[in-house]
Amino acid sequence: MKEFDALKGKDVLILGLAKSGYESAKLCQKLGANVIVNDGKDLTSDPHASELMSQGIKVISGEHPLYLLDNNPLIVKNPGIPYSIQLLVEAENRNLDIITEVELSYYISEAPIIGITGTNGKTTVTSLIGDMFGNSKVNGQVSGNIGVVASKVAQEVNKEDYLITELSSFQLLGTIKYRPHIAIVTNIYSAHLDYHGSLEEYQKAKKNIFQNQTEEDYLIFNFEQRHLIDKEQIKSKILYFSTEQEVDGIYIKDDYVVYNNIRIIHVNDIVLPGKHNLENVLVAVLASIISGVEIKSIVHTLTTFSGIKHRLQFVGNNRGNKYFNDSKATNTLATRFALSSFNSPIIWLCGGLDRGNDFDDLIPYMDNVRLMVTFGETKDKLKTLGLTQGKEVLQVTDVKDAVDTIQDYIQPNDVVLLSPACASWDQYDTFEARGNEFIESFQKHLPTF
């Protein structure tokens, strides 16, 4: 961990406990700060709050009293807390610094940082990069919005490592000096306007990822959205990614991933389906190459990576058929995304909680569906949908029954896709439980020889 003396003897207010607040409080105390934790919820019975108090950290909960600002503390804010609460409004009136814990991770990290943000794709990109590093001789530790708090991981990495951090707009809004060596913006669309107030403010938060970069750093940006940074004063080297044309960076040409005129891999050999994932792949490959990851390690990841669990996750092959678990697709928008990701014939497993909606918006995406297998409360609605589109439809009881039943109907090169388009609560406690049953059922049908 890099030496950082700026917090010694300084008052620090941790606003919001949760994972980031808990780790931030411990770190700030380690750095010599006088730490107070404040949460609007009652933390009387919270084990983490009790642990912090046993270490001499004061915890005030159930309200946000304004006297907490009397000593002009540095405020480390939980990303989800809006700036509109009275305590933060008053803090801004007093020109107090308000940061999120990722700023702390930058202060103490000996390792160069790969920062990944974007409206869509950032979790997949972060996971891909982490897997590529994991297969190589270069050490990289994944952190941030994807799981382990960045400021915790930053204490463990050294100069030879990389700190790979997924970043939300909420986290980036609370940065002042944060400077990743490689900044990645997958895309910027309209999102979280209830929090940021406008699209412009949301975009500004995302752009914080490259504001402090220097000529020694890299910015990887979506070529199709280059207009978003045309007027920005960017010092770092900009590299683009594109699935449509040759760019200064990485792109698809003649169905190959190409960087610096070198063919990395044919797109048909990449296990993650869909154009959106092809963009994610380009970003991850480029960032990994810049970081010194070997091409063979990158290719190994692209031919084996199963994806984020329950999000169009590649489960495996059985007798020439690929199985994908998209149990997190609890609405038609997510399922439209999944259905449009395949050119092969699809056996589509769908159904679940009936919320009263119809499924007509799926019709334009059903061209490759060869067989529908419906279950749950919506099985009759989905059967009607399939029959009106001339599809063969089977009705079953649940996901296990669906996987068992299709074994008598499956044909060579079929893709088996669980993408329910419905919530799981009619039959399963969570979408994870539904997806896990799909995986377990798939595994039971694998050959035993």
| Residue 374 phi, psi (nearest 5) | -110, 150
User: pLDDT tens digits for 128-163?
Assistant: 999 999 999 999 999 997 778 999 999 999 999 999
Say whether both 260 and 116 belong to one domain: yes
Cα dist. 308→178, 287, 328, 449 in Å? Answer: 27, 19, 10, 29
Residue 52 CA to its chain's centroid (Å): 29
Say whether both 123 and 245 belong to one domain: yes
Residue 2 belongs to some domain of the structure? no
Q: Out of 42-56, 149-163, 187-201, 235-249, pick the least confident.
A: 187-201
d(CA 285, CA 133): 11
User: pLDDT tens digits for 372-390?
Assistant: 999 999 999 999 999 999 9
Say whether both 332 and 269 belong to one domain: no
Residue 126 marked as a ligand binder:
no
Q: First CA to last CA across the chain, in angstroms? A: 50
Residue 6 belongs to some domain of the structure? no
- Domain final position from 45, 74, 99: 99
Say whether both 259 and 360 belong to one domain: no
d(CA 263, CA 112): 28
pLDDT at site 449: 66
Question: Is 286 or 195 the better-scoring residue by pLDDT?
Answer: 286
Task: Check: CB of residue 131 under 8 Å from CB of residue 301.
Answer: yes
| Residue 332 phi, psi (nearest 5) | -70, -30
Tell me the residue range of the domain where 26 lies.
11-99
Residue 95 marked as a ligand binder:
no
CATH number reported for the structural domain that contains residue 128 in this entry: 3.40.1190.10
Residue 186 marked as a ligand binder:
no
**Cα atoms in the 13 Å half-sphere on the side-chain side of 230:** 6
Q: How many residues does the chain have?
A: 449
d(CA 376, CA 360): 18
Say whether both 82 and 180 belong to one domain: no
| Six-digit token string for 389 | 């589109």
Closest CA to 181 of 122, 259, 237: 237
User: pLDDT tens digits for 317-352?
Assistant: 999 999 999 999 998 988 998 999 998 999 999 999
Average pLDDT over all residues of the chain: 95
Say whether both 69 and 113 belong to one domain: no
Helix 431-444 × helix 399-406 angle, to 10°: 30
d(CA 8, CA 23): 17
- Domain final position from 47, 64, 99: 99
- Domain final position from 99, 118, 153: 99
Residue 120 marked as a ligand binder:
yes
% of the chain surpassing 70 pLDDT:
100
Task: Check: CB of residue 57 under 8 Å from CB of residue 25.
Answer: yes
Residue 118 marked as a ligand binder:
yes
Say whether both 335 and 431 belong to one domain: yes
pLDDT at site 191: 84
User: pLDDT tens digits for 247-268?
Assistant: 999 999 999 999 999 999 999 9
| Residue 432 phi, psi (nearest 5) | -65, -40
